[in-house]
Amino acid sequence: MNIKVLGMGCCNCVKLYENTQDAVKDLGIEANIEKVEDMAKIMEYGVMRTPALVINEKVIVQGRIPKKDEIKKILQK
Protein backbone atom coordinates (compact mmCIF):
# COMPACT_ATOMS: atom_id res chain seq x y z
CA MET A 1 0.00 0.00 0.00
CA ASN A 2 1.19 3.46 -0.88
CA ILE A 3 0.23 6.26 1.51
CA LYS A 4 1.05 9.93 1.17
CA VAL A 5 0.50 12.78 3.60
CA LEU A 6 0.26 16.14 1.83
CA GLY A 7 0.99 19.45 3.54
CA MET A 8 3.50 22.26 3.50
CA GLY A 9 4.72 21.86 7.04
CA CYS A 10 2.04 23.82 8.83
CA CYS A 11 -1.62 23.04 9.46
CA ASN A 12 -0.92 20.03 11.59
CA CYS A 13 0.37 17.90 8.72
CA VAL A 14 2.76 16.43 11.26
CA LYS A 15 -0.17 15.32 13.39
CA LEU A 16 -1.81 13.57 10.44
CA TYR A 17 1.49 11.90 9.60
CA GLU A 18 1.80 10.59 13.15
CA ASN A 19 -1.81 9.39 13.24
CA THR A 20 -1.28 7.57 9.95
CA GLN A 21 1.91 5.94 11.21
CA ASP A 22 0.14 4.78 14.36
CA ALA A 23 -2.77 3.39 12.37
CA VAL A 24 -0.47 1.45 10.05
CA LYS A 25 1.49 0.10 12.99
CA ASP A 26 -1.69 -0.96 14.81
CA LEU A 27 -2.97 -2.83 11.79
CA GLY A 28 0.43 -4.37 11.14
CA ILE A 29 0.17 -3.86 7.40
CA GLU A 30 2.87 -3.25 4.86
CA ALA A 31 2.69 0.35 3.78
CA ASN A 32 4.99 3.00 2.52
CA ILE A 33 4.15 6.36 4.13
CA GLU A 34 5.55 9.38 2.38
CA LYS A 35 5.39 13.05 3.32
CA VAL A 36 4.83 15.40 0.39
CA GLU A 37 5.73 19.02 1.10
CA ASP A 38 6.35 20.34 -2.40
CA MET A 39 3.54 22.66 -3.46
CA ALA A 40 3.66 21.68 -7.15
CA LYS A 41 3.21 18.02 -6.20
CA ILE A 42 0.38 18.84 -3.80
CA MET A 43 -1.38 20.79 -6.53
CA GLU A 44 -1.11 17.83 -8.89
CA TYR A 45 -3.47 16.01 -6.57
CA GLY A 46 -5.89 18.94 -6.78
CA VAL A 47 -5.71 19.45 -3.03
CA MET A 48 -6.59 22.94 -1.83
CA ARG A 49 -6.87 22.30 1.86
CA THR A 50 -4.02 20.71 3.71
CA PRO A 51 -3.35 18.34 5.34
CA ALA A 52 -4.53 15.65 2.97
CA LEU A 53 -4.32 11.88 3.03
CA VAL A 54 -3.67 10.10 -0.25
CA ILE A 55 -3.93 6.33 -0.49
CA ASN A 56 -2.81 4.58 -3.65
CA GLU A 57 -2.81 7.94 -5.46
CA LYS A 58 -6.40 8.74 -4.48
CA VAL A 59 -7.23 11.71 -2.24
CA ILE A 60 -9.24 10.28 0.63
CA VAL A 61 -9.33 13.08 3.19
CA GLN A 62 -8.46 16.75 2.89
CA GLY A 63 -8.62 19.78 5.15
CA ARG A 64 -8.95 17.90 8.40
CA ILE A 65 -7.04 15.51 10.61
CA PRO A 66 -8.79 12.16 10.95
CA LYS A 67 -8.08 10.30 14.18
CA LYS A 68 -6.14 7.05 14.27
CA ASP A 69 -9.30 4.92 14.41
CA GLU A 70 -10.80 6.61 11.37
CA ILE A 71 -7.61 6.08 9.38
CA LYS A 72 -7.65 2.42 10.42
CA LYS A 73 -11.17 2.05 9.06
CA ILE A 74 -10.15 3.75 5.82
CA LEU A 75 -7.13 1.48 5.45
CA GLN A 76 -9.14 -1.67 6.02
CA LYS A 77 -11.50 -0.87 3.16
Partner 1 sequence: MQYVSQFFSIINDVFLKMTWLSDLITWVVNNIFRLPINDTDIWGRIGGSLQFFIYDSIKIIALLSFLIFIFAYIESKFTPEKTRRILSKLKGIKGATLGALLGTVTPFCSCSSIPIFISFVKAGLPMEVTFSFLISSPFVDLASTVLLASMFGWKVAITYVVVGVLLAILGGMIIGKLKLEKYIQDYVFDMKVGETEEVEPTKKERIQYAKEQVKNIFTKVWKYVLLGVGIGALIHNWIPQELVEKVLGNGNIFAPILAAIVGIPMYADIFGTMPIAEALVLKGTGIGTVLTFMMGVTALSVPSIVMLKQVMKNKLLGIFVGIISVGIIVIGYIFNIFQFLII
User: Could you give the residue numbers annotated as active site?
Assistant: 10, 13
DSSP label at residue 7: -
For residue 62, state whether it binds partner 1 (rule: CB under 8 A): yes
Q: Per-residue x/- mask for partner 1, residues 15 to 54, rule CB under 8 A?
A: ------------------------xx-xxxxxxxxx----
Q: Which of 25, 63, 69, 73 binds partner 1 (CB under 8 A)?
A: 63
Beta strands 52-55 and 2-6, pairing class: antiparallel
Give every CB contact of residue 25 below 8 A, 6+ residues apart in sequence.
none
CA dihedral 76→46→13→10, nearest 10 degrees, is: -170
For residue 77, state whether it binds partner 1 (rule: CB under 8 A): no
CB of 26 to partner 1, least distance (A): 19
